[in-house]
Amino acid sequence: KNEVEQSPQNLTAQEGEFITINCSYSVGISALHWLQQHPGGGIVSLFMLSSGKKKHGRLIATINIQEKHSSLHITASHPRDSAVYICAAWDTDKLIFGTGTRLQVFP
Amino acid sequence: NAGVTQTPKFQVLKTGQSMTLQCAQDMNHNSMYWYRQDPGMGLRLIYYSASEGTTDKGEVPNGYNVSRLNKREFSLRLESAAPSQTSVYFCASSQLTEAFFGQGTRLTVV
């Protein structure tokens, strides 16, 4: 069983839809990252969360430490949001990654 | 520009050949990491270095060696490449809970 699990693995949406990606972890963590990776591209950190909620533009990330669960929401999705979204949990001094959620947003 | 620089971006090796992947960061971070990314497996930690002069094995260290040359540089060496090492490799650095990633190295072993 992975220490960090994401769902769904694949997600397709029509432009404008509200999207939610979930992440559950079993390790004790100090913080959690949501990362974005475009096809053939590098990895960019979207959010780093240790509690509560953060918002950046159309992206919202929440974390519930007690339930060991985090969600990434995209409002008014757009084709340029198509990418792989990865959650990663800090376990002491190293990052443990989920396997990623591949999102495709169609016009 | 500040960040993590990885070289090369692409490499093709024959089975048994050796090579070193280079990584440098200019953010004065203590911790550096090497990950590999394979389809359906996510990113898996190969080795990491919590500070200059120290290295530790991650989840998949077999077939690799690392060297933390100084605070800036952390290299990954394949002594005898195998087809199973075909992957995309990412270097990362971190301080506290911030993390930055290199652009990746696409390695193919034939």
Residues of A in contact with B41 (CB under 8 A): 99
How far, in Å, CA of A97 to CA of A44, rounded?
A: 14
Mark the ranges of chain B whose per-residue pLDDT is less than 70.
1-2, 97
Burial (Cβ within 10 Å: 0-12, 13-18, ≥19) of residue B32? buried
Nearest Cα to Cα of residue A47 among B104, B97, B37: B97
Residue A45, token pair as written in the block: 């950190």
Which of A45, A48, A97 comes nearest B43 by C-beta?
A: A97
- State whether residue B63 sits within 8 Å of chain A by CB: no
Give the contacts of B42 (CB within 8 A, at least 6 positions apart).
A2, A86, A97, A98, A99, A100
List pLDDT tens digits, range B69-82: 899 999 999 999 99
> For position A30, what pLDDT does the model report?
77
Question: For residue B93, which of B65, B71, B110, B63 has the smallest C-alpha distance?
Answer: B71
User: Which residues 10-39 on chain A approach chain B with CB closer than 8 angstroms?
Assistant: 30-31, 33, 35
- SS3 letters across A24-54: EECCCCCCEEEEEECCCCCEEEEEEECCEEE
Going residue by residue through chain A, which has 107 residues, state the pLDDT in tens, using 9 for 90 and above: 568 999 999 999 999 999 999 999 987 777 899 999 988 778 888 989 989 999 999 999 999 988 999 999 999 999 999 999 999 988 877 788 888 999 999 99
CB contact under 8 A, A94 and B58: yes
pLDDT of residue B1: 53
